[in-house]
């Protein structure tokens, strides 16, 4: 029998914790361990596939100690044994920078918001500058006599998390998607075919995709649908109710106690990372998240104009969404969620 071979995950970070202990973290799998200098030396040999004998030849550690340490590292998903765990390395078109990947996964795994970890007082929401002098700007009301619709919508925009007994209609859903997410035009550029949409996107790369989870809109099937922005169509992708229940529970848990019930529709927003990273490389992820802000604001404004209840969700659930939509999360993954309902009457 051939001896087992080992390789380290490409997504390991090491740092020293507050007690000065060496810690390794696999951001891709959200696992962490305090390790000794000797274990670090073992990991260091595993930039290429090696068996216990080969590691022992390099480090002069006993095979028994090595086998024990390797078993521990396998359990913590820090290293691979014989084959690459498919969740770590698959055939995908992006070579993820470990720092970017850490940030992307942090949005799913991070955010427990423990009060105990907050240092000092909440920072001031406004900046107080020492100015040389101050100039009070003219009243904005002096330019236009009447408020335009846009300015009224901007003033009225707010996050609403409590819903009435009535439900969003399929016409309202269509209106929102059309005015915030559709493809308005296609054009050719030196950097490939690009699109025009209602919101802005860095380099017009438009990496974001919208999936509609229908909880209670009548006229369309329950389940998760891909919004086809070119033909303004919903394509049903998965009717599996257990994923839908799991995701709704995730939302209700994150939001507790702010909401009275599940929203009528959830927009799950994913990014096809390569569209932006192909051109912008390490700048890519920050552009993608800036695009997300543009899309959110556009959806907020259209929903406000329609007197509906909009609200985004900051935390992501990449694992559920990847399984639900059958995505390779290195290629396309969850970056945002937007909820929609009819506001509860005040």
Q: Which residues contribute to the site for ligand FMN (CB under 6 A)? A: 158-159, 161, 254-255, 258, 296, 311-315
Report the distance separating Cα 261 and Cα 215, nearest Å: 11
Nearest distance from C-beta of residue 293 to ligand FMN, angstroms: 7
Q: Which is nearer to ligand FMN, 207 or 223 (CB)?
A: 207
Nearest distance from C-beta of residue 27 to ligand FMN, angstroms: 21
Nearest distance from C-beta of residue 271 to ligand FMN, angstroms: 14
Nearest distance from C-beta of residue 153 to ligand FMN, angstroms: 13
In three-state form (DSSP H/G/I as H, E/B as E, the rest C), the secondary structure along the chain is: CCCCEEEECCCEEEEECCCCCEEEEECCCCEEEECCHHHHHHHHHCCCCEEHHHHHHHHCCCHHHHHHHHHHHHHCCCEEECCCCCCCCCCCCCCCCHHHHHHHHHHHHCCCCCHHHCCCCCCCCCCCCCCCCCCCCCCHHHCCCCCCHHHHHHHHCCCCCCECCCCCCHHHHHHHHHHHHCCCEEEEECCEEEEECCCCCHHHCCCEEEEEEECCCCCCCCEEEEEECCCCEEEEEECCHHHHHHHHHHHHHHHCCCCCCCCCEEEEEEEEHHHHHHHHHHHHHHHHHHHHHHHHHHHHHHHHHCCCEEEEECCCCHHHHHHHCCCCCCCEEEEEEEEEECECCC
Nearest distance from C-beta of residue 206 to ligand FMN, angstroms: 19
Q: Which is nearer to ligand FMN, 55 or 313 (CB)?
A: 313
Nearest distance from C-beta of residue 1 to ligand FMN, angstroms: 52
Nearest distance from C-beta of residue 202 to ligand FMN, angstroms: 17
Task: Identify the bridge partners of residue 8 per DSSP, sorted by sequence position.
Answer: 79
Q: Which is nearer to ligand FMN, 285 or 313 (CB)?
A: 313
- Label the pairing between strands 50-51 and 12-16: unpaired
Q: Which is nearer to ligand FMN, 123 or 314 (CB)?
A: 314
Q: How many of the other CB atoms lie within 10 Å of CB of 291?
A: 25
Q: Which is nearer to ligand FMN, 228 or 305 (CB)?
A: 305
Q: In whole angstroms, how far apart are CA 306 and each of 23, 33, 84, 172?
A: 51, 50, 50, 8
Nearest distance from C-beta of residue 322 to ligand FMN, angstroms: 20
Q: Which is nearer to ligand FMN, 168 or 292 (CB)?
A: 292
Q: Which is nearer to ligand FMN, 9 or 270 (CB)?
A: 270
Q: Which is nearer to ligand FMN, 207 or 312 (CB)?
A: 312
Q: Which is nearer to ligand FMN, 93 or 159 (CB)?
A: 159
Nearest distance from C-beta of residue 339 to ligand FMN, angstroms: 8
């Amino acid at each position: 029998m051939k001896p087992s071979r080992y390789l380290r995950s490409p997504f390991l970070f090491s740092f020293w914790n507050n007690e000065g202990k060496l810690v390794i973290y696999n951001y891709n799998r959200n696992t962490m361990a305090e390790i000794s200098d000797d274990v670090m030396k073992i990991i260091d040999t595993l930039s290429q596939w090696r068996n216990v004998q080969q590691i022992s030849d390099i480090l002069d550690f006993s095979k028994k100690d090595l086998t024990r340490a390797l078993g521990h590292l396998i359990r913590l998903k820090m290293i691979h044994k014989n084959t690459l765990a498919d969740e770590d390395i698959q055939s995908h078109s992006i070579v993820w920078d470990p720092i970017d990947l850490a940030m992307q996964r942090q949005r799913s795994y991070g955010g427990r918001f423990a009060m105990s970890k907050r240092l000092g007082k909440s920072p001031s929401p406004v900046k107080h500058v020492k100015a040389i002098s101050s100039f009070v700007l003219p009243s904005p009301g002096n330019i236009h006599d009447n408020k335009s619709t846009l300015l009224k919508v901007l003033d009225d925009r707010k996050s609403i998390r409590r819903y009435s007994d009535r439900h969003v209609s399929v016409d309202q859903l269509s209106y929102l998607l059309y005015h915030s997410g559709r493809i308005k035009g296609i054009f050719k550029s030196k950097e490939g075919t690009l699109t025009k949409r209602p919101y802005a996107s860095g380099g017009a790369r438009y990496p974001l995709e919208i999936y509609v989870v229908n909880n209670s809109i009548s006229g369309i099937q329950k389940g998760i649908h891909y919004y086809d922005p070119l033909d303004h169509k919903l394509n049903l992708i998965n009717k599996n109710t257990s994923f839908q229940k799991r995701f709704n529970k995730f939302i209700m848990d994150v939001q507790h106690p702010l909401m009275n019930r599940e929203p009528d529709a959830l927009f799950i927003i994913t990014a096809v990372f390569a569209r932006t990273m192909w051109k912008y490389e390490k700048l890519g992820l920050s552009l993608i998240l800036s695009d997300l802000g543009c899309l959110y604001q556009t959806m907020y404004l259209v929903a406000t104009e329609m007197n509906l209840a909009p609200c985004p969700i900051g935390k992501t659930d990449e694992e559920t969404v990847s399984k639900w939509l059958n995505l390779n999360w290195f290629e396309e993954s969850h970056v945002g969620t937007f909820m929609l309902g009819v506001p509860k009457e005040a």
